Chain A
Amino acid sequence: MDILMQINGLTTRFYTDDGVVHAVNRISYAMEVGETLGVVGESGCGKSVHALSIMRLIHSPPGQIESGEVWFDGRDLLKVSEGEMRQVRGLEIAMVFQDPMTSLNPVYTVGFQIMEVLKLHQGMDNAQARERAGELLAMVGIPSAEQRLDDYPHQFSGGMRQRAMIAMALSCDPKLLIADEPTTALDVTIQAQIVDLVKRLQKQLGMAVMWITHDLGVVAELAKKINVMYAGYIVERGNVRDIYKRPRHPYTIGLLGSLPRLDEAPGTKLVSIPGLPPDLIALPPGCPFAARCVYRVDRCLDEMPSLEEVDRVDHTVACWRWEYVMGRKE
């Protein structure tokens, strides 16, 4: 498969009054054309900041993309001019955010906001843009789309707003759609509608999707590849089956264990991870998970492991002790 995006050593920090927040730390990975990548992790693990860094939407100050490369379609997005970047956003990479209540402007109609994108990026006139906006709303499953163009966001329900956001994101046929917790604010039956919609549209349009979430359940249904993030690092990366069936990083194992499953046998106790994630201002020199890890040895406290291949080429884990975690060594 062709590589769509290659990220090398991306590092983003925030310079705050309290100190330097190490939000994203030297992450590298590649995404293929048409691939679905799930980025999972808990609040503050850097999953959203990493996506915003790709889009160069980090507010500076206090934020700063320190180093790294984001190769997309033959150029490093971190080096291109702001004008060119504006063309990339929306046209080549589109983003859908968590909260559909705040990402639409309440004083303009939904139709106006979709048409604005089309006029700006595709150079359409009013009539063309309106027609296309109607088609887009219909494509994302909004009934009587043509009339709903004149509605204001408050006249839409949460699920419909997220559909409208997806319509807007897809209006220019992007090669990559970044969905940042798109269903977190929605109810489970509505979440199922949105997941279904994105799957269908992806098949139809052939775009790559990056689905950022804290919900390991949602990405199990969607993604082909998973990046597990912790304290700004990718700690494990692999195919969805490897991550769920043969997790190798103690954090991934802990995360899966702490999740109750609807289909589980009752009476099982949840395996909780003791302690709290580290403070990103004062990251330990070694592995950030060491303080909570049961497999910890002295080396873990001093040195951060880099991603290393386990059994297969496309399954990597950042852990000094992965062979012990697997029980390969005693």
Chain B
Amino acid sequence: MIEAEKAPLVQVRHLKKYFPITRGSVIQRHVGDIRAVDGVSFDIYKGETLGLVGETGCGKTTVGRTILQLYEPTDGEVTFDGTDLLSLSGGEMRRMRRRMQMIFQDPYASLNPRMTVGSIIAAPLEVHRVAHGKEKQDQVQKLLEIVGLNPYFVNRYPHEFSGGQRQRIGIARALALNPDLIICDEPISSLDVSIQAQVVNLLEELQDHFGLTYLFIAHDLSMVRHISDRMAVMYLGKVVELTDRDEIYLNPLHPYTQALMSAVPVPDPDVAESRQRIILEGDIPSPADPPMGCNFNTRCPVTIDRCFKEDPVYLEVKLGHWVACHLVTPEDD
């Protein structure tokens, strides 16, 4: 895609979400914050898949939920198709949500066990008063067909389905309102390898067919690189690098991205033997007490003095390649 043709569907600017830590049972004193998302900015273009990767606790799920305003942001802006979501009233936001849906990680927990598949998929149609009666039934059947399930299953309950099939039900529910944006929050991590491929292929087909935009959140880098057009890497509440999927693999600039890429196992003994691995030491610090300066400085193999004093600025160092690192300087052009 040429730069000028890209129109952002979602614009996230300086987004922050802090969860307060409180002490005391009656009078809750505010003693600190978990900085789950700490100043994140990126765009999601129409029709693209933006992959969001990072390790446990880096805030990637919170970013997804805060975009949908399921969490109220502490600070920052989220613009969806030109509308500032934070300025909307409750009712307006509810109407806006029709256009943005979510697929959850755990297909065992995200489907109500006491509802039939038909009523699960029909729920969004009812809530938003889009269809009722015969029309609603027809739509549900059509949705089941679209996600590759037998429409005959409409009166069954979630426990009668396997994990992969349940995830298809979750996808059908997300598609019900014909949304523009679907936030996929680790949609395949709880599935077996051969089933993962089935679900990913389905998501890709649906995107082609309906022109969907995805924010694909996952920790499996190989899978995210497979499905995404561009990828953003998060570490401890911040996006450290964002660029297209080839650039991030061939030319990662942030030391964390480099280590992350090198740590991903490749199912090929020849590659495994020959490639250089960067093994990071230590663990991710607590987001309640991030280190001074760059928050990667406790594990970074290439720190300089400045890394411990100043937080690096998130800059576009090359066209479409954003990095937050003191050691990476913008190219002149």
Please give the residue numbers on chain A whose beta carbons come within 8 Å of chain B beta carbons, in ascending order: 42-43, 157, 159-160, 187-193, 195-196, 214-218, 220-221, 240-241, 244-245, 254-264, 266, 269-274, 276-277
Q: Is B55 an interface residue when CB atoms closer than 8 A count as contact? A: yes
Give the complex CA separation of A214 and B1 in angstroms.
37
Please name all residues of chain B whose beta carbon is closer than 8 Å to the beta carbon of A258 when the two chains form the complex. Answer: 193-194, 196-198
Give the complex CA separation of A159 and B56 in angstroms.
12
Contact B56 A193, beta carbon cutoff 8 Å: no
Contact A192 B226, beta carbon cutoff 8 Å: no
Contact A189 B266, beta carbon cutoff 8 Å: no
Smallest CB separation, B293 vs chain A (Å): 20
Please name all residues of chain B whose beta carbon is closer than 8 Å to the beta carbon of A260 when the two chains form the complex. Answer: 200, 222-223, 225-226
Smallest CB separation, A322 vs chain B (Å): 19
Chain B contacts with A in 241-270, Cβ cutoff 8 A: 245-246, 249, 259-270
- Pick the residue among A189, A240, A277 that contacts B280 (CB under 8 A): A189
Smallest CB separation, A24 vs chain B (Å): 18
Give the complex CA separation of A241 and B193 in angstroms.
20
Contact A273 B225, beta carbon cutoff 8 Å: no
Contact B192 A214, beta carbon cutoff 8 Å: yes
Smallest CB separation, A185 vs chain B (Å): 9
Give the complex CA separation of A270 and B193 in angstroms.
11
Interface-side segment among B10-18, B173-181, B271-279: B271-279
Given contacts A272-B198, A273-B197, contact A262 B264 (CB under 8 A): yes
Contact A262 B194, beta carbon cutoff 8 Å: no
Give the complex CA separation of A266 and B284 in angstroms.
30
Give the complex CA separation of A260 and B200 in angstroms.
10
Contact B263 A42, beta carbon cutoff 8 Å: no
Question: Which bucket holds chain B's interface residue count?
Answer: 35 or more
Please name all residues of chain A whose beta carbon is closer than 8 Å to the beta carbon of B225 when the two chains form the complex. Answer: 260, 262, 266
Contact B162 A262, beta carbon cutoff 8 Å: no
Smallest CB separation, B250 vs chain A (Å): 10
A45: nearest chain-B partner, CB-CB: B192
Smallest CB separation, A304 vs chain B (Å): 20
Please name all residues of chain A whose beta carbon is closer than 8 Å to the beta carbon of B260 when the two chains form the complex. Answer: 188-189
A259: nearest chain-B partner, CB-CB: B267
Give the complex CA separation of A196 and B278 in angstroms.
11
Please name all residues of chain B whose beta carbon is closer than 8 Å to the beta carbon of A262 when the two chains form the complex. Answer: 221-222, 225, 249, 261, 264, 266
Please name all residues of chain B whose beta carbon is closer than 8 Å to the beta carbon of A221 when the two chains form the complex. Answer: 265, 269, 272-273
Smallest CB separation, A237 vs chain B (Å): 15
Smallest CB separation, B123 vs chain A (Å): 26
Give the complex CA separation of A259 and B273 in angstroms.
19
Contact B280 A261, beta carbon cutoff 8 Å: no
Q: Is B142 an interface residue when CB atoms closer than 8 A count as contact? A: no
Q: Is B164 an interface residue when CB atoms closer than 8 A count as contact? A: yes
Contact A255 B271, beta carbon cutoff 8 Å: no
Please name all residues of chain A whose beta carbon is closer than 8 Å to the beta carbon of B223 when the two chains form the complex. Answer: 260
- Pick the residue among B270, B272, B279 that contacts A193 (CB under 8 A): B279
Q: Is B219 an interface residue when CB atoms closer than 8 A count as contact? A: yes
Contact B226 A270, beta carbon cutoff 8 Å: yes
Contact B263 A192, beta carbon cutoff 8 Å: yes
A-B contact pairs, 29 of them (CB 8 A): A159-B283, A160-B283, A187-B219, A188-B260, A215-B265, A217-B265, A218-B265, A220-B265, A220-B269, A221-B265, A221-B269, A221-B272, A241-B269, A241-B270, A244-B267, A244-B269, A245-B270, A257-B197, A260-B222, A260-B223, A261-B268, A262-B221, A262-B264, A262-B266, A263-B271, A269-B204, A272-B201, A273-B198, A276-B162
Give the complex CA separation of A287 and B280 in angstroms.
44
Smallest CB separation, B332 vs chain A (Å): 29
- Pick the residue among B195, B263, B273 that contacts A189 (CB under 8 A): B263
Please name all residues of chain A whose beta carbon is closer than 8 Å to the beta carbon of B259 when the two chains form the complex. Answer: 189
- Pick the residue among B55, B195, B226, B272 that contacts A188 (CB under 8 A): B55
A292: nearest chain-B partner, CB-CB: B194
- Pick the residue among A193, A217, A274 that contacts B267 (CB under 8 A): A217
Contact B193 A259, beta carbon cutoff 8 Å: yes
Please name all residues of chain B whose beta carbon is closer than 8 Å to the beta carbon of A254 when the two chains form the complex. Answer: 194
Please name all residues of chain B whose beta carbon is closer than 8 Å to the beta carbon of A255 when the two chains form the complex. Answer: 193-194
B165: nearest chain-A partner, CB-CB: A276
Give the complex CA separation of A195 and B264 in angstroms.
11
Give the complex CA separation of A39 and B73 in angstroms.
46
Smallest CB separation, A15 vs chain B (Å): 23
B272: nearest chain-A partner, CB-CB: A221
Contact A272 B194, beta carbon cutoff 8 Å: yes
Given contacts A260-B225, A262-B261, A276-B162, contact A214 B193 (CB under 8 A): yes
Please name all residues of chain A whose beta carbon is closer than 8 Å to the beta carbon of B267 when the two chains form the complex. Answer: 216-217, 220, 244, 256, 259, 261
Give the complex CA separation of A276 and B161 in angstroms.
11
